[in-house]
Structure 1
C-alpha cells in the first residue's frame, strides 16, 4: 500500500502539480530577477510564469490524449449511439459522451444543433450541452493539479449529476416545441463513418491541440494574470468580506458574477486557485467555475438563436439553481475533501 501511495504522490506532485517547475521558476525569479517570491512583485511573477507554463504543458498533453480518444467517436457515431437509447440511460450516456469533447460551451452548440436536427431527444442533447464544457477529462486532471484528487473527482461527479438531472427535467417538461423551427428542418445527412488509421488519429490530435490552444491562450493569460493579482495584491480580508465563508450569499454572488464572464475551465482555474488560497470556500470557488464554463454569456447568446426564450430561461434556471445548490453543499461538507 505504501508503494502505491508513493507512486500516486510522485504522479500528483511531479506530473500534475509540477513542483519541480515551481522550484525552477523560484530560482529564476530570485537568482536572475533578484526578487523574493515572498514579496508581492516576486510572488506575482512566480505565480504567473509557473501557472502559464504548467497549464500549457498539461493542456497540450491532455488535449492530445482526449482528442485521440475522441477520434473514435465522431458526431455521426455519437448520434447513432445516443439515438438507440432512451430515458434516463440516454441522459447518462449523453452526459458521459460530453466528457470526451474538449470544447467550451460555444463550441458544443453546433454539435447540439446536429443532435437536435437528427431527432435525438431534447433531454439527451441538453445533458450533453451541460457536461461538455463542465466536466471534460482535461478538467479532471487540471483540477487534481490545483486542488487535489478528492475535490477533482467530486467536481466531475456532481457536474455529471447536474447534466443528467438537467437533461431529464427538460425532457420531462416536454419542451420540444420551443426549439426554433429551422433547426428541426435542417436536413440530417448521415455521413459515412470513416475509420482512421493510427497515423491519421495522431495527426487529428495534433491539429486539435493547435486549434484549441489558439482559441484559449489569451483567456489562460488573462485568467493567470487575474489569479496572480488576487493572490499577491488583494488583501485576504477584502476577499473574505465579499465572498468569504462568513458571507451566506457568497455562493449566490459567485454564480451571478461568473455567468457574464467568458472563459473555459483552463482560464478560470488560476482565478479559482487564487480565491481558494485567500480562504474562499471550495463550494463558492466551484460555483464560480461552473457558472463561467456552463453559462457564459456568449454561449447563452448563441443558444438563444436555436431555442426560444422559454426553453432558454428554463435551461438557465435549472443549471444556475443546480450550481448554487452544489456550491452550498460543498461548503457545508468541505471537511470531507480537505
Structure 2
C-alpha cells in the first residue's frame, strides 16, 4: 500500500518537539563544552592560545548546528512552494520592502558573520531574492541588539542610535544595489540549482506531499549542503580562532587617531583579516577610543571586522563565486567608508 510504513503527522510532530528540545539542550551547553575541551590542553585559559582554542570549539559546533537546523527548516518550508509560487510571492516590485524587513530581522538575530551564513544559505535555497538575503547577511552581525546595548554604555545612546540607522542604511542599500545588479547567475552552480527550484519529486505537486516527504526533503537539503560547506566552515573559523585576540591595539590606535583621509580606509582594511562578533569587538573599540582614535574611524573598523571578515569570505566562497564576493565586498566597504567619514565629520 502506497505510503505504508511511514510515520504519521502526529508521530512526526512529537519527534520534532523531542529533536528540538535535544538540539536546544546541546546548543545551551556549547560554552561549557568549549571550556571543558580547552581545559584538556596544557595552556593557560586566559592566554592567546587558550582564547583561540575556546573560540574554535565554541564556534564550530555552533555554526554547524545552526546550519543543520536552518537548512532543514528551509528545506521543509520550501517543499510547499513551487518555483513559480516563490517567484510570484517575492516579485521584484517587493524587493525594497524585503530589504528593509530582512535587515530589521538581522537586528533581532545576535549572530556573528559566520553564524549568519547558515540563514543566508537557507534564504537563498528557499528562493528569496539575492539582494534581500544580502541585507540580512550584512545587518545580522553589524547592528544586532548586543552591539547596540554595549555601544550605549560605551559612547552613549545618541551615537548608538546613529550607528543603528547608518548600519541599517548600509545593509538595506547594499542589498538593494546587489539585487538590482541581478547577479543570481554568479552563485555557485549547486546553489543556483537549489535557488531555481525543482525540489519536489517529479510528477508530484507541492501541495500533495506528505509531512514525511517534506521532512525527507529537509534531510536531503541538510545532507547536500553540509557536504559542500562543512570543511570550509571549520577552516574559516579555525583561521578566525588563530587571529582572535592578537590585535595590535597600540599600532591601530596610532593609525586611527590621525586626521589623515586614509585613516578610515586603513581601518577597514585592518578589520578584514580579523574575526569576532559584535560583543567581542566592543572591548577593542573601547581600547582604541581610549588611545585617542577617531570615533568614525573606529566604528568603520568595527563594521569591517563583523561584516567583511576573512573567515566569513572563506565560508561564503562555497556559496558565491569570486565575482559575487568581490561585488559584495565593494558595495559593503563603500557603505562602511561613508559611515566612517560621516561619523568623523559629525562627532
Q: Which residue of 1 aligns with 2:119?
A: 111
Could you tell which deviates more after superposition, 272-281 or 85-94?
85-94
Render the CA deviation track for 1:87-133: whole Å, top value 9, x for unaligned: 21111001011111111111111111111111111110010111011
Q: Which residue of 2 aligns with 1:246?
A: 259
Q: CA RMSD in A?
A: 3.5
How many Å separate the matches in 2 of 1:240 and 1:128? 31
Q: Which residue of 2 aligns with 1:52?
A: none
Q: Which residue of 1 aligns with 2:272?
A: 259
Which of 105, 109, 120 pairs up with 1:97? 105
SS at match of 2:279: helix
User: Against the structure 1 CA distance between its residues 88 and 243, is the aligned structure 2 distance closer, same or farther, given a 3 Å change threshold?
Assistant: same
SS at match of 2:320: coil
| Displacement after TM superposition at 1:239 (Å) | 6.1
How many Å separate the matches in 2 of 1:240 and 1:102? 27
User: Against the structure 1 CA distance between its residues 261 and 304, is the aligned structure 2 distance closer, same or farther, given a 3 Å change threshold?
Assistant: same
User: Against the structure 1 CA distance between its residues 312 and 137, is the aligned structure 2 distance closer, same or farther, given a 3 Å change threshold?
Assistant: same
User: Against the structure 1 CA distance between its residues 261 and 134, is the aligned structure 2 distance closer, same or farther, given a 3 Å change threshold?
Assistant: same
Query: What are the ranges of 5 or more consecutive residues in structure 1 without an aligned counterpart?
Result: 1-73, 194-214
SS at match of 2:319: coil
User: Against the structure 1 CA distance between its residues 182 and 240, is the aligned structure 2 distance closer, same or farther, given a 3 Å change threshold?
Assistant: closer
| Displacement after TM superposition at 1:265 (Å) | 1.3
User: Against the structure 1 CA distance between its residues 263 and 78, is the aligned structure 2 distance closer, same or farther, given a 3 Å change threshold?
Assistant: farther
Q: Which residue of 2 aligns with 1:155?
A: 163
| Displacement after TM superposition at 1:241 (Å) | 4.5
Which of 333, 339, 343 pairs up with 1:320? 333
Q: Which residue of 1 aligns with 2:281?
A: 268
Matched-pair contact (CA < 8 Å) for 1:122–1:176: yes
How many Å separate the matches in 1 of 2:199 and 2:147? 32
How many Å separate the matches in 2 of 1:132 and 1:121? 17
Q: Which residue of 1 aligns with 2:136?
A: 128
Matched pairs, number: 233
Query: What are the ranges of 5 or more consecutive residues in structure 2 without an aligned counterpart?
Result: 1-72, 201-205, 216-236
How many Å separate the matches in 2 of 1:270 and 1:172? 37
Render the CA deviation track for 1:169-192: whole Å, top value 9, x for unaligned: 011111010111211334768989
How many Å separate the matches in 2 of 1:101 and 1:273? 23
SS at match of 2:318: coil
Matched-pair contact (CA < 8 Å) for 2:104–2:139: yes
Q: Which residue of 2 aligns with 1:164?
A: 172
How many Å separate the matches in 1 of 2:254 and 2:115? 36
Matched-pair contact (CA < 8 Å) for 2:184–2:192: no
Q: Which residue of 2 aligns with 1:17?
A: none
How many Å separate the matches in 2 of 1:288 and 1:242? 11
| Displacement after TM superposition at 1:148 (Å) | 1.1
SS at match of 2:275: coil
Which of 184, 198, 222 pairs up with 1:176? 184
